[in-house]
DNA sequence: TCAGTCCATAGATAAAATCTATTGCAAGTG
DNA sequence: CACTTGCAATAGATTTTATCTATGGACTGA
């Protein structure tokens, strides 16, 4: 089996036709025919059923193609990263939970690089995907939190995937509310205080995934629940509906605006926010720069709380 | 780039020495040398620094090796699945949460196949790994549950990874306790009832991960917490310490023994237990057999509840 | 200094991938 | 019913790649 053979069968499956696939691959049709035959005979399977009117993928072939695409996805990562295909385009990928400080660091990194050709990805997603992205090198760094409930399970997952966790800071749980919410007068809040108000969370965000908010928002106080995908939407609803959301309390006024305030939440819990890196791979200069930005930004946050 | 080249550099990195790596790979040393040089020049990187006393991996090379190992892991899956390496050894992999019915189905599948050469894996693990295993085709099928809290986030993750979910049955939360526990007299239990007793859970098991037990076992009632890795240990402690654990209530006396009983838990929640399959791949005959066993076993469970 | 170890180079050779040209087959067409 | 068309398979030549043997050079340690 070679990388080329896998590319070939995937292209053939897409085109549904060996002749046109050969054209697309810039090789002669008999070359493609024999390449496929060889792959099939190597594993003793029939990937395509041939007829005079093109080819059709067999069920067996469909399965094999599933594996092939997995491999190709992975090799594409190498090609993209090391091949001059992107002609010097600077690339950076980060997966994080919904933290404004992470976005801020991302923006700062962009400013500092000052490249005129780049491709940066900020993947705000759930814990599962963060770990998965970093483990499979789709992202160079991930940002997530640990607390006493998820710590064991997350640490084990990180270990299993050969990832390292480096803490940035520890935060106490905070509640985000609108400036004009009735709750804004209180200095700190309890779960009881929050009960009458709508709870906001991300559909696939840090709150909803794994552990944290579930810990605090037990079945008792989930009468009104709003789930959104977008942070801006969340903040709009927060203000418009006197809602609340539970977070690390790392707020940045420039990003969130002056209409959102954070209040301490009285619960016996903490969040240790940090970043994860692949164990085997040395961080790229861009990643190192990003980490130092994160560190300087969160040093500021530490003073706040 | 070819797979051979990736295999070569990984072997060289392991051996720390081109000559002995060549021996291990059954090729001549100059062949290996040129294969590596070609790979390096293709991407314009230096993977190894050569000296008269063997080689050393450069930081750049270390990173590249990280990617290479990822690709090789993936290709190994194909080789293992399709190559006669295992000489007709029947293979089957399942990833599941800690359900006794899943183990039962696994055992039944083994009995039915009656092969004299096989390699079956029962991976009882956390939700993250189940999804990851099936998404990356390390397991052919996964078993997990959805409830109203995790449903959205899990379904999104499944969609992102092109996995399908098929429900098997819906269970109400149950508490497992020892036959002689003081709680065994009651017909059903509330969270208040459980408060004085030690709560048992798996370190990386279905209870601890994602959503479920956290929902029910809020901060209020986690005074005594015991975390174990093994189901047998869990049951031992359950009996010895009058502990409890929260589960789907799908109990099987043959597997768990007569000393464990299940009681209904009075909470407004449910668990929809089902299996996940890769979207692109047709289930193998063995997988189909497993599914039909699961279905017949859980049909019985449905009657229980 | 001299054998030992290790990687690099050169040139030959074997293996593979790919090419052109052609065949065969079935479906559609006038 | 011959005729064209579209597609995959085959044959044989050719180029490219992989690997081999033999040897060189550079450093190491007795």
Residue B27 lies in a domain: yes
Residue A81 lies in a domain: no
Q: For residue B70, give the nearest of A67, A136, A156 by CB distance.
A: A136
Q: For residue B282, give the nearest of A63, A83, A203 by CB distance.
A: A63
Listed as ranges, residues in chain A with pLDDT below 50 are: 87, 203-222, 251-254, 303-305
The number of distinct structural domains making up chain B is 2
Residue B37 lies in a domain: yes
Residue B227 has pLDDT above 80, yes or no: no
Which of B32, B67, B102 marks a domain boundary? B67
Q: What pLDDT does B211 receive? A: 35
Q: How many Å is the Cα radius of gyration of chain B?
A: 25
Look at A21 and B102; give whichever has higher pLDDT. A21
Which residue has its C-alpha nearest to nucleotide D6's C1'?
A53
- Count of other CB atoms within 10 angstroms of residue A44: 9
Residue A221 lies in a domain: yes
Contact at CB, A1 and B267, closer than 8 angstroms: no
Interface test with B, best of A153, A215, A226, A287 (most B CBs within 10 A): A153
Place B142 in a pLDDT band, splitting at 50, 70 and 90. very high
A-B CB pairs within 8 A amount to: 155
Give chain A's count of helices (H) and strands (E): 12, 13
Q: What pLDDT does A296 receive? A: 93
Report pLDDT digits (tens) over B34-61. 999 999 999 999 999 998 888 999 888 8
Q: What pLDDT does B201 receive? A: 65
Place B206 in a pLDDT band, splitting at 50, 70 and 90. very low
A269 touches chain B (CB under 8 A): yes
Residue B99 lies in a domain: no
For chain B, the average pLDDT equals: 79
Q: How far apart are CA A193 and CA A197, in angstroms?
A: 9
Sign (positive or negative) of CA dihedral A129, A132, A137, A138: negative
Residue B233 lies in a domain: yes
B46 touches chain A (CB under 8 A): no
- All residues of chain A having their beta carbon less than 8 Å from the beta carbon of residue B284 are 63
Residue B214 lies in a domain: yes
Mode of pairing for the β-strands spanning B188-189 and B174-178? unpaired
CA atoms within 13 A on the CB side of A224: 14
Q: How far apart are CA B256 and CA B152, in angstroms?
A: 32
Tell me the CATH number at A181: 3.40.190.10
Query: A88: exposed, middle or buried (C-beta count within 10 Å: 0-12, 13-18, 19+)?
Result: exposed
Domain of residue B2, residue span: 1-67
Tell me the CATH number at B59: 1.10.10.10
Contact B92, B120 (CB under 8 A): yes
Residue A254 lies in a domain: yes
B157 touches chain A (CB under 8 A): yes
Please state whether strand D lies within 7 Å of residue B11 at its CB atom. no
Which of A21, A43, A67 marks a domain boundary? A67
């Amino acid at each position: 089996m070679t990388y080329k053979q896998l590319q070939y069968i995937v292209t053939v499956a897409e085109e549904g036709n060996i002749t046109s696939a050969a054209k697309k691959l810039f090789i002669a049709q008999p070359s493609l025919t024999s390449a496929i035959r060889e792959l099939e005979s190597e594993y003793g399977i029939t990937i395509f059923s041939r007829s005079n009117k093109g080819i059709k993928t067999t069920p067996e072939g469909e399965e094999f193609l599933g594996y092939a695409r997995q491999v190709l996805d992975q090799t594409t990562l190498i090609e993209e990263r090391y091949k001059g295909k992107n002609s010097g385009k600077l690339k950076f990928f980060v997966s994080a939970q919904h933290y404004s400080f992470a976005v801020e660091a991302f923006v700062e990194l962009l400013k500092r690089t000052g490249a005129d050709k780049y491709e940066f990805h900020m993947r705000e997603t759930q814990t599962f995907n963060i770990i998965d992205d970093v483990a499979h090198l789709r992202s160079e760094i991930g940002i997530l939190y640990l607390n006493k409930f998820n710590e064991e399970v997350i640490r084990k997952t990180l270990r299993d995937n050969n990832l390292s966790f480096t803490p940035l800071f520890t935060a106490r749980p905070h509640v985000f509310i609108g400036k004009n919410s009735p709750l804004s007068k209180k200095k700190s809040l309890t779960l009881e205080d929050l009960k009458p108000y709508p709870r906001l969370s991300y559909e696939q965000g840090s709150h909803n995934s794994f552990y944290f908010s579930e810990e605090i928002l037990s079945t008792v106080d989930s009468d009104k629940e709003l789930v959104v995908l977008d942070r801006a939407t969340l903040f709009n609803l927060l203000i418009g509906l006197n809602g609340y959301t539970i977070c690390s309390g790392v707020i940045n006024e420039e990003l969130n605006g002056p209409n959102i305030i954070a209040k301490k939440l009285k619960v016996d819990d903490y969040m240790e926010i940090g970043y994860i890196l692949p164990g085997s791979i040395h961080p790229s200069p861009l990643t190192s720069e990003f980490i130092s930005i994160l560190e300087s930004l969160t040093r500021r946050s530490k003073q706040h709380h």
